[in-house]
Amino acid sequence: MSNPLPTPPASSAESRRSYRRPVFGGIDLGTNNCRMLVGTPASHGFQVLDSFSRVVRLGEGLYETGRLSPVAMERAIASLSICAERAKRWSDSGAGPLALRAIATEACRQAENGSEFIDLARRKTGLPLEIINPREEAELAVESCASLICQGGRRAVLFDIGGGSTEIAWVRVNCDGAAPELVGYLSLPVGVVTLSERCAEACYTEEGFGSVVSDITDMLRSFEAVHRIGQEIRQGGVMMVGTSGTVTTLAGVSLRLDRYRRGLVDGLSLTRPAVDAALAEARALGREGLRRHPCIGADRVNFVLPGCAIFAAIHELWQVPQLIVADRGLREGMLMRLMRASRPVRRGFRLA
């Protein structure tokens, strides 16, 4: 459910001066969702001023046709228009100049008409929307999770199960306080939306689920062969961080939440037995049980088990003792980058 439009600061000159501070915005148009985050720097990273999220299903039918459908593009542009309105309100509010970045990911990378859609969205919304490559997507995910990654260990496996792709990052943790370093990355051309269109029903059977897990595992083996992550895990000091709706859902299942609570999920550490139990429970619920679950609901029910199959492959191939759950992603990564880049010179963004 989307949030109401933000209330701009008080209009008096004195209030504007006291409130004025740099404001940053990030918009992430994915295969399934359109999300926006607005924040300002704070001691812990940044303070959230406004957020927005809506299911747009931009990649609906893409697996079959290779193109973004007119209806899907219309849904996405409607949500981007809301984001543009919010950006303009912050830019005009007197809170401070708004530095904004807007990105699109796998659906637009894959689609034959992805670039055409980006041009159309720019014209209709005024947003500086751009398609990013898989490496930058992995980098932004690492950036968003840096505070979790730097809590311990010498290496980290980070994964982000998206709608149209799954990003895997192999990360070196620097002990001197420097940012984590991306050593290698892999972008799998499968996500919860693409898998749900290919084989959603298969995931509800033991044989079908196992077959999907096996296929995903095969896709990971070349990355494992290059980086020998399993060997590093056996030597110790490797952590695993998961950032996606799949892992946050499993965390909610594990905690038996009566409603989803980000404060309880973000940064949560789950042992392997706890992860196995949550996976087993999600699979045992079946479609109707997943639909009724307070951390899932009807909008996401078709994506849960495909996401679980992708995660199960990662979980089995790389047997790290604990999983760190991150309820954060590309929007947070964009804000962190924008704030860091703004320190010498701040640039404002205004919609026409």
Q: What one-letter code names the amino acid at 171?
A: V
Every domain range in the chain assigned CATH 3.30.420.150: 146-327
Looking at residue 177, its pLDDT comes to 67
Instruction: Report the CATH fold assignment for 146-327.
Output: Nucleotidyltransferase; domain 5 (3.30.420)
CA distance 259 to 247: 15
Cβ atoms of 282 and 332 closer than 8 Å: no
Query: Which residues, including other chains, have CB under 8 Å from residue 140's CB and lie 6 or more apart?
Result: 132, 329, 330, 333, 334, 337
Dig out the tokens for 43 from the structure: 């001691």
196-243 per-position pLDDT tens digit: 988 878 899 999 999 999 999 999 999 999 999 999 999 999 999 999
Segments of the chain with pLDDT less than 70: 1-20, 95-96, 175, 177, 344-352
According to CATH, where is 3.30.420.40 located in the chain? 13-133+331-342
Q: Which CATH architecture has domain 13-133+331-342?
A: 2-Layer Sandwich (3.30)
pLDDT of residue 179: 84
Supply the pLDDT for residue 348: 47
Cite the beta strand spans of 238-340 per DSSP E: 238-242, 269-271, 322-325
